[in-house]
Amino acid sequence: MRSSPLAERTIVITGAARGVGAALAHEVARRGARVALLGLEKAGLDAVAASLPGPALAVEADVTDLTALDAAAHTVRAGLGRPSAVVANAGIAEGGAFLASDPAAWRRVIDVNLTGSAHTARAFLPDLLHTAGYFLQIASLASLGAAPLMSAYCASKAGVEAFAHSLRAEVAHRGVGVGIAYLNWTDTEMIRDADRYAVLRELRTHMPPPARRVYPVDVVAARLVRGMERRRTAVYAPPWLRLLQPVRPALPPVVLRVARRELPRLEAAGQVRYTGPLGAGGRADRAAYRPGP
């Protein structure tokens, strides 16, 4: 793995205490990178950092707090050197009908997933300009086609896709690459938690066979890192997701048809209910976040 373009480079990953972020940390470390792990769960970040084979730094920071991210960027620069790649991976989700959702929690999903990604870019872009580096935005199948009962998550992932496209056009002439990673269902605590709720499990299992499959997190991470090594503008995990790009306009009518058929049955069974934050990461964010007036 020492022949990797990432070897001896500093890589920043947000949301790195678990799931895709932790798997990415292991994958880039195997390729000889120095890894900076950012997130809210310091104990989890420390544990991941201690398990890596090379230099690693765990920095506690809320991606919605630009001051904290600026401080984290300074810490990374001093401890590991200027980053050559930054992965905006931090994200949370909740499920249920829009009107049943808590407005503050709905807004928090947007703040973490979208504003947090923009803050991450704002804090680390000066370093990437210096290193002619690469910014990878973690998006989702939800960026390609929105689904019911996940309105905040779908809105945030559509937003990060648009943000990454815009940022790429701004910084390409300055040598910085910007990629978008489109992920399908991945075996993380968030998805396992979502499957505990009948309505979200039904949402997944009523998708076509390739789309309903849950993919191992280490397989997804390996594909994302190969995209990073090649500075891809788009990375698809699994690869077949790229086939949805040309048919994106056809997806909303298909989703609408399925929703009209299935949601009345689920509502009658009392299965359409608000889930609150999904997964341990979502619960950690709720515990750390204190909304203002």
pLDDT of residue 293: 43
Average pLDDT estimate for 271-283? 90
Q: Which segment of 87-91, 177-181, 201-205 scores lowest on mean pLDDT?
A: 201-205
| CA-based nearest residue to 280, from 22, 12, 11 | 22
Residue 115: count of CB within 10 angstroms of its CB: 19
Please identify which residue in the block is written with the tokens 């086939």.
Answer: 243
Q: Which segment of 153-162, 167-176, 255-264 scores lowest on mean pLDDT?
A: 255-264
The percent of residues above 70 in pLDDT, for the chain, comes to 98
pTM: 0.95
Residue 25 · residue 52 · CB < 8 Å? yes
Q: Is 215 a catalytic residue?
A: no
The residues facing 178 across adjacent strands are 135
pLDDT at 2 over 60: no
pLDDT of residue 290: 62
Residue 293: count of CB within 10 angstroms of its CB: 2
pLDDT in tens, 132-170: 999 999 999 999 999 899 999 999 999 999 999 999 999
pLDDT at 280 over 50: yes
Which of these is catalytic: 153, 182, 197, 236? 153
pLDDT at 1 over 60: no
